[in-house]
Chain A
Amino acid sequence: MIMEKIAELFIILILVSVVLNVSSPFLKFAIKLYSFQSLMLAFYIFMGAIHFNSINLYGSFAITVIFKVILIPYFLFKTLKRVKMDKEIDMYIGIPEAVVFAGSLTLLSNLIAQKIIKIGLTFGSFVFTIALATFLIGAMLMITRKTLFSQIIGFLTIDNAIFLAGNSITHGMPLLVELGVLFDLFVSILILSILILNLRRNVAS
């Protein structure tokens, strides 16, 4: 009973960190928030692992911590240091507008989740609402920001949201699938960071 409530708290913290991410233009803070968000996701998976006592979920917890909490933020920090950016200045809409827009996306995802539950698919509606909201806000982050770095953060947020939704629907995906997805993500981050560096070197002022 109490475990369920604490799991809810972890999920809420994911949404809070995404909203904070929208509200702050600082890139270092954004990476730290991403790391925190992944840690909360990992804790949520860990709660599920204790509850269902499944080895797959324990493995999923371990690889989430290794890849998402440690390795990807480490590479992002390294790239950030090389390109010497600290603040996102190019945005299509201002920060307060974006934050209020994020709130309306949360409302929208709540409505959609309730419709889907009425159809009769059975999974955790709370988790699904938050996952959908995180997904939409991550997509908004990718659209409204202009530099590649913030778009990467938005992409990673979307990935976290899909992970969360996946874990809410199933009792953990097979370990091999998850490992493959994470490895893809990791490689794409590596490629993107190299891309940023090359762009900086060849094109940027």
Chain B
Amino acid sequence: MNYNAEHLALGCIQFFIIVLLAPFFAGFIHKLKQRARGQKGINILQFYINFNKLLKKEVVLSKDATLISSLAPYIVFVSYLLILLMLPAFYRYSLLGVSSDVILIAYSLALATFFMTLYAMDQGSAFGGLGASREWFLTVLSEPSLIFIFISLAIYTKQGRITDIFYFIQNGAENAFLSGAHSSSVSIAIPFLLFISLFIVSISENARIPIDNPETHLELTMFHEANILEASGKHLGIYEYGSYLKLTIFLTIMSLILFPYMAVNIYQVPLALTTYFIKMIILCGLIAGVEIVNPKMRVFRAPNVLSVSFILSLIAMILSIRGF
């Protein structure tokens, strides 16, 4: 399709809004959790302040560190930015919408994890190797369900790009529920299964509480934190911003599965943006609720939960192949 100036401008605005909102969502979850525990809670903009502070500090690298250590934070950050360029959060024509293949998104996430673990092992500290092995333990378990989720979305809608997939779902839902037309191409069961499955995957990938605790630096509970333990200054800031971006990516995909509403022209953008924001706030509340209610799980019980997510995505794929 041809991109004109309006598409480019709105795509840029969408990209910058999501990138700028990412620390806000992470801070909102944190604040909700602290309020529920009866604490006063951090400033909701605290993560922006932290990032700003860390950017001014200098980077300290170990003397054993190679070129990988100075490159890895940027590769991780850029691969998350690349995914955000593809996602149609509230505007249908995202900037990289033409090349937003679902497999590419899954592998960009894996690339970021790969370089983060390389960074962990490169500096030669004992915690790095531990963190890397734990991170891959979880990633290997959640990777198949992520791939199955994307593939079953692709089969369900018979589209390859993520923008087209969600536009198809939105159109189908509008046809079925608003105008009441006979439409057999819409299913409630498949998005529901995919949503539960993706929710479990995103809890594990973003190091949230039943699997991992993002707040502590206790060696028993560190999954994600052990990888970036050696990072300092600018590198640490970039890694933390990267983790907020990752959370936002997962929440955005979930919000699109739950209730896809994307603007196709400039007049629908305000409503779509508001809807997007409300959906994200609800999902943040959901994640904070899960974190408050559940205690941290033993590491070796994580495969139980992740295998459920795998099987749910498998069932969704079976249903979407047979055409419900």
Contact = CB atoms under 8 A, between A and B. Distances in A.
A20 B305 CA distance: 9
Contacts of A41: none
Given A16-B312, A110-B322, A5 B307 contact: no
B304 A2 contact: no
Contact of A1 (B182, B307, B310, B315): B182
Interface in B175-193: 176-177, 180, 182-183, 186-189, 192-193
Residue of A103, A126, A129 most packed against chain B (CB within 10 A): A103
A12 B303 CA distance: 23
A2 B186 CA distance: 10
Interface in A1-31: 1-2, 5-6, 8-9, 11-12, 15-16, 19-20, 23-24
Contacts of A125: 322
Task: Tell me if A's interface is mostly helix, strand, loop or mixed.
Answer: helix
B312 A9 contact: no
A106 interface: yes
Interface in A75-118: 95-96, 99-100, 102-103, 106-107, 110, 114
Contacts of B186: 5
B318 interface: yes
B312 A6 contact: no
B314 A106 contact: yes
Residue of A11, A12, A125, A129 most packed against chain B (CB within 10 A): A12
Contact of B318 (A1, A16, A102, A106): A106
Interface residues of A, number: 27
Interface in B273-324: 303-305, 307-308, 310-312, 314-315, 318-319, 322, 324
B196 interface: yes
A185 B283 CA distance: 41
Contact of A126 (B180, B310, B324): B324
Contacts of A129: 322
Given A2-B176, A99-B311, A100-B310, A9 B304 contact: no
B189 A110 contact: no
A20 B308 contact: yes
A98 to B, nearest CB: 9
Given A8-B324, A107-B318, A100 B311 contact: yes
Interface string A51-82: 00000000000000000000000000000000
Nearest to B192: A9
A6 B318 contact: no
B303 A96 contact: yes
B282 to A, nearest CB: 20
A106 B315 contact: yes
Contact of A9 (B183, B188, B307): B188
A106 B314 CA distance: 9
B170 to A, nearest CB: 16
Nearest to A106: B315
A99 B308 contact: yes
B196 A95 contact: no
Residue of A9, A20, A96 most packed against chain B (CB within 10 A): A96
10 contacts: A2-B177, A8-B188, A8-B324, A12-B193, A16-B196, A16-B312, A19-B312, A100-B310, A106-B315, A129-B322
Which 4 residue pairs are nearest across A and B when measured between Cβ atoms? A103-B311, A99-B307, A12-B189, A96-B303
Given A107-B318, A125-B322, 17 more contacts: A5-B176, A5-B189, A8-B189, A11-B189, A15-B315, A23-B304, A23-B305, A24-B304, A95-B303, A95-B307, A96-B303, A99-B307, A103-B314, A107-B314, A110-B318, A126-B319, A129-B322
